[in-house]
Amino acid sequence: MKTSTLNRYRILTGLLVGLPFAALAQEPVPNRAPTPQEAFKISAEVDTVQGWRYGGAGTLNFSQVSLSNWAPGGQSSLSLLGLGNAYAHYRADKHSFDLAGNLVYGLLKAGKAKVRKNDDRLELNARYARSFAPNWSYAAQLNLKTQLTPTNDIVKPDSLLSKFFAPAYILASLGFEYKPSESFSLFLSPATGKFTVVGDQGLADAGAFGVKAARLGPDGLPVRGTGERLREELGAYLNARYRRPLMANITYQTRLELFSNYFHNPQNVDVNWENLIDFKINKFFSASVATTLIYDDDILVPLNVDQQNADGTARGRRIQFKETLGIGLTYKF
- The predicted-structure confidence for 202-258, as pLDDT tens digits, reads as follows 999 999 998 999 999 999 899 999 999 999 999 999 999 999 999 989 999 999 999
- The CA distances from residue 111 to 75, 79, 114, 153, 327, in Å, are 5, 11, 8, 18, 22
Strand partners, 177: 137, 187
Ordered by start, the domain boundaries in the chain are 51-332
Q: How confident is the model at residue 306 (pLDDT cuts 50, 70, 90)?
A: low
Collapsing DSSP to helix, strand or coil, 92 comes out as coil
With a pLDDT cut of 70, the percent of the chain lying above it is 82
- Interval 28-45: pLDDT, tens: 444 444 444 443 333 333
Q: Which residue has the higher pLDDT, 306 or 175?
A: 175
pLDDT of residue 30: 44
Pairing mode of beta strands 168-181, 160-162: unpaired
Lowest-pLDDT range, 35-44, 70-79, 192-201?
35-44
Q: What's the rounded Cα separation, in Å, for the pair 262 and 241? A: 24
pLDDT of residue 129: 96
Q: Which amino acid is at 153?
A: D
User: What's the average model confidence in pLDDT over 191-211?
Assistant: 95
Beta-carbon contacts of 296 under 8 Å, excluding residues fewer than 6 positions away, are 210, 270, 271
pLDDT of residue 69: 76
Lowest-pLDDT range, 5-19, 67-81, 151-165, 242-256?
5-19
Average pLDDT, the chain: 84
Q: What's the rounded Cα separation, in Å, for the pair 128 and 96? A: 6
pLDDT of residue 12: 47
pLDDT of residue 67: 82
Q: Which amino acid is at 18?
A: G
Phi then psi dihedrals of residue 208, to 5 deg:
-70, 145
With a pLDDT cut of 90, the percent of the chain lying above it is 59
- Interval 114-149: pLDDT, tens: 899 989 999 999 999 999 999 999 999 999 999 999
Contact 192, 235 (CB under 8 A): yes
Q: Is the peptide bond before 167 cis (omega within 30 degrees of 0)?
A: yes
pLDDT of residue 40: 35
User: What's the average model confidence in pLDDT over 188-196?
Assistant: 97
State yes or no: pLDDT of 9 exceeds 70. no
Q: What's the rounded Cα separation, in Å, for the pair 212 and 174? A: 27
pLDDT of residue 14: 53
State yes or no: pLDDT of 23 exceeds 80. no
Q: How confident is the model at residue 75 (pLDDT cuts 50, 70, 90)?
A: confident
pLDDT of residue 158: 85
pLDDT of residue 153: 85
Q: What's the rounded Cα separation, in Å, for the pair 122 and 75? A: 30
Q: Which CATH class is domain 51-332?
A: mainly beta
pLDDT of residue 72: 77
Q: What's the rounded Cα separation, in Å, for the pair 118 and 151? A: 9
Residue 78 burial by CB count (10 A; 0-12/13-18/19+): exposed, middle or buried?
middle
Beta strands in the chain (DSSP E): 51-65, 77-91, 95-110, 116-133, 136-146, 151-152, 160-162, 168-181, 184-197, 230-247, 250-261, 270-280, 285-295, 301-302, 315-316, 320-332
pLDDT of residue 318: 86
